[in-house]
Amino acid sequence: MTLRVGGLTPLSTTDWPGMLVAVVFCQGCPWRCGYCHNPGLIPARGDHEIPWEDVLAFLRRRQGLLDGVVFSGGEPTAQAGLPDAMREVRELGFKVGLHTGGMYPQRLAAVLPLVDWVGLDVKAPFAEYARVTGVTGSGERAHAGLLEVVASGVAHEVRTTVHPALLADAVVVGLAHDLAGRGVKHYVLQAFRSQGCADEALRRNATRDRPLQEVGEGLAGLFEDFSVRAT
């Protein structure tokens, strides 16, 4: 089954820390996070999809020039064609990265052996997920996905996007402690970015009472690696 691709970034230095990568944006996501900066990727079919063969042709021209390919979204594990696409990328000599929300834990577990690095988004405390995703039961799915990633031994980064109207500072601190207790070693807080966000209320009410860096000051000792991305 061919992967449905909604976009392609030819070169990125930020989507997989320390690596030069191309980013394949997979079409489709079952969640409706208000702060999503790629709302055009939410529908299962996109208006301007890129044929997978065109993506492979591009990657063949970049062999030896890029370290890897990151499958992002949307939600890559929503597509049955993801494992085969990852195998084809590996056969070209690229490392494989994955951005995921963990909402399909069994599918995630199936592709982890094909992956060199995972960027896992944890949206909120698991009991409060529906307030962010708009989907009942999403917290249980995300928690199961987190457990799969942590148990896999695959290099990974867990990150949480913080919008002050969705996650109060005290909630962020509590979430960080919870994640550390579940075995997370590498954690990133990243500030909400208004670019691409279709929710006018969230764009309008994004002012913080104090910098996100201050919220993170007491959290670094919980993790082997911790950082705040404020821009």
Could you give the CA distance from residue 55 to residue 38 in angstroms, rounded to a whole number?
19
Q: Does residue 28 carry a pLDDT above 80?
A: yes
Q: What is the pLDDT of residue 207?
A: 82
Q: Does residue 30 carry a pLDDT above 70?
A: yes
Q: Is 83 exposed, middle or buried (0-12, 13-18, 19+ CB in 10 A)?
A: middle
What is the per-residue pLDDT across 180-219, written as a single tens digit (0 to 9) for each?
A: 999 999 999 999 988 888 888 888 888 888 899 999 998 9
Q: What is the mean pLDDT of the chain?
A: 95
**Residue 231 — very low, low, confident or very high, per pLDDT cuts 50/70/90?**
low
CATH for 65: 3.20.20.70
Question: Quick one: which of 57, 74, 76, 68 has its CA closest to 3?
Answer: 76
Total domains in the chain come to 1
Q: Does residue 32 carry a pLDDT above 90?
A: yes
Residue the block writes with tokens 């030896």: 64
Could you give the CA distance from residue 160 to residue 186 in angstroms, rounded to a whole number?
12
Could you give the CA distance from residue 216 to residue 206 in angstroms, rounded to a whole number?
18
- 135: its two tokens: 């989907």
Q: What is the pLDDT of residue 204?
A: 86
Lowest mean pLDDT among 93-97, 102-106, 189-193: 189-193
Rounded to two decimals, the pTM is: 0.95
Question: Quick one: which of 59, 66, 48 has its CA closest to 4?
Answer: 48
What is the per-residue pLDDT across 48-88, written as a single tens digit (0 to 9) for each?
A: 899 999 999 999 999 999 999 999 999 999 999 999 999 99
What is the per-residue pLDDT across 111-143, written as a single tens digit (0 to 9) for each?
A: 999 999 999 999 999 999 999 999 999 999 999
Residue the block writes with tokens 């060199």: 116
Beta bridge partners of 118: 98, 156
- DSSP state, residue 5: E
Q: Does residue 95 carry a pLDDT above 70?
A: yes
- 59: its two tokens: 């990657």
Could you give the CA distance from residue 229 to residue 211 in angstroms, rounded to a whole number?
11
Q: Print the domain residue range for 90.
A: 5-229
CB atoms within 10 A of CB 49: 15
DSSP string, 34-61: TT-S-GGGSSSS-TTPBPHHHHHHHHHH
